[in-house]
Amino acid sequence: MVRRLILGCGDVGERLAESLGAEPTSVLGIDDDRTVVDRLRDRGVPARRGDPTEPATLADLDSPGTILVAGDRGDENLAAATLARDRFPEARLVVYAGADPTQTVVEQLQAVADDVVEGARALADRVLEEGASPAAERARRLRSALSAIDGRLAVVTHDNPDPDAIASAIALVVLAESVGIDADACYYGEISHQENRAMLNVLDLEVRHLEAASAIDAYDGVALVDHSRPGINDGLATDADVDIVIDHHPPRGPVAGSFVDIRHLAGATSTVMTEYVDRFGVDFDRQTATALLFGIRIDTNDFTRETTALDFRAAAALSPHVDQTALDRIERPTVDGETVDTIARAIKNRKRYDDVVVSSCGQIASRDALPQAADRLLSMDGVDTTLVYGFIDDMVYLSARSRDDEQDVGEVIRDAFEPIGSAGGHSDMAGAQLEIGVLGSRDTDGTDGDEPDHAAVIVSAVEDVVEHRFIEAIDSIPDVPKGGYTRESELLFDPTRTGVVSRDEGERST
């Protein structure tokens, strides 16, 4: 089934089609110009000839997740968008207004589309933006903040960084170096997900692993990307001085820094960084462009989740510079045996409550298999929400997924686990981590005679608490009493632990 349908492959549409066409069934471009169709096919992009304004063109297609109408003429795009909305009412509809749209066309497009990208107006705005626009002012302020660093800059991602965080850090290093400031992309935790490791290896990206909070003392400045508060989902001290913050997640507390840009409307921090690279006049090298596009695609689930016109514009700007062969290799990494085992245990140990599935994977070697297991369980018939969790030493790591439009799993995770750990996320994906101090102090080999293994007893109790707190936090399950585990269960966890998980930590976000 086609996940993304592009109707009218003008300049913008053709570039996006090339960028999105890595997977044979992921995208389909339709245009009535045979030359355009042949050109896309020659570049390996699925395309066919047809008039996007004719009902027959769409008659044999299943509903895609996202439709991009991207012809050169606004009036034709309006006709195609109106037809697409009637044919596929559930699809996300993004429409390019064309090269020179009238105000009437723009208003009509806004009435039918989820997002409208204006053409001539965008071009005129860009001319103004080179002078005194908010975007130009942001770029000027970032340049000033970078130039003010007296020494070497550490660009720090959140713990166990995902592709969006890695790409954003690499891009900010490029910008720092463009103004004469030495910088390193840095992270705490692990990079263990197969795609994340492949991204580093295939693109030969340089990132520095920081093991102790004191490691940051070797730097003269600190920037945070894809998160906004030191000590919250990173290894920094909570009182660490921060110079620059660039993120797209709404903060859950005050954010300090000489330069702060938190762009809530962007689907990825990589989208924001693409704008800055463009504004700085820095040429996109193939490594950085490929990393940024991959970061955008992962955080927006290939432009189907929390996506805005900003993300499409960034993708269009990046696509001419992307190494498509490298991108293909990143998206098809090998899967190690430990990941397969974790997914298998999640399937075997699953418990179902109406349309919700919860599963414990027991002791795990890497937390990065958990979101993959949660995704796998979400594919079960009749299941709308999943929670998968596992133990590493004295920590419990949780990953949740949901496709229930009426259920915000990020809020569910926060309600259930923020009182006893760190938790957070989005409406369709979330994560948490809970510290169990007692596990580390127990003899895992058990005690004399027939006494049960103390650690095993504690693990069993924790599993019971995690399962019930999550189920209690979901309002949609009938006959579930609320609050039964709220007070007693807090005794199992370290109440002094602080932090907010802004996303599933250390994972590919789809």
Could you give all domains of the chain from N- to C-terminal order, each with its CATH number?
4-125 (3.40.50.720), 131-331 (3.90.1640.10), 337-492 (3.10.310.30)
pLDDT at 23 over 80: no
**Neighbouring C-alpha atoms within 13 Å toward the C-beta of 278:** 20
How far is 288 from 305, CA to CA, in rounded Å? 23
What is d(CA 31, CA 52) in angstroms, rounded to the nearest whole number? 7
How confident is the model at residue 447, as a pLDDT? 42
Average pLDDT rounded to a whole number, residues 231-242:
89
Give residue 497's pLDDT. Answer: 45
Sequence-separated (6 or more) residues with CB below 8 Å from residue 496:
none
Find which of 125-139, 235-249, 440-454 is predicted with most confidence, using mean pLDDT. 235-249
pLDDT tens readout for residues 112-123? 987 787 764 453
Instruction: Name the pLDDT band for 449 (thresholds 50, 70, 90).
Output: very low
Token pair of 445, please?
């080999």
pLDDT digit string (tens) for 266-295?
Answer: 999 999 999 999 888 888 899 999 999 999
**If you write DSSP's letter for every residue of 145-177 in order, what string do you get?**
HHHT--S-EEEE--SS--HHHHHHHHHHHHHHH
CB 400, CB 425: distance < 8 Å: yes
pTM: 0.59
Tens of pLDDT, residue by residue over 187-198, are: 998 887 788 889
- pLDDT recorded at residue 437: 60
Range scoring the smallest mean pLDDT among 12-16, 212-216, 372-376: 12-16
What contacts 270, CB < 8 A, 6 or more positions away? 163, 164, 167, 168, 171, 291, 292, 293, 295, 296, 299, 314
pLDDT tens track for 348-389: 999 999 899 999 999 998 888 898 899 889 989 899 999 999
**Which comes out higher in pLDDT, residue 252 or 129?**
252
CA distance 425 to 410: 4
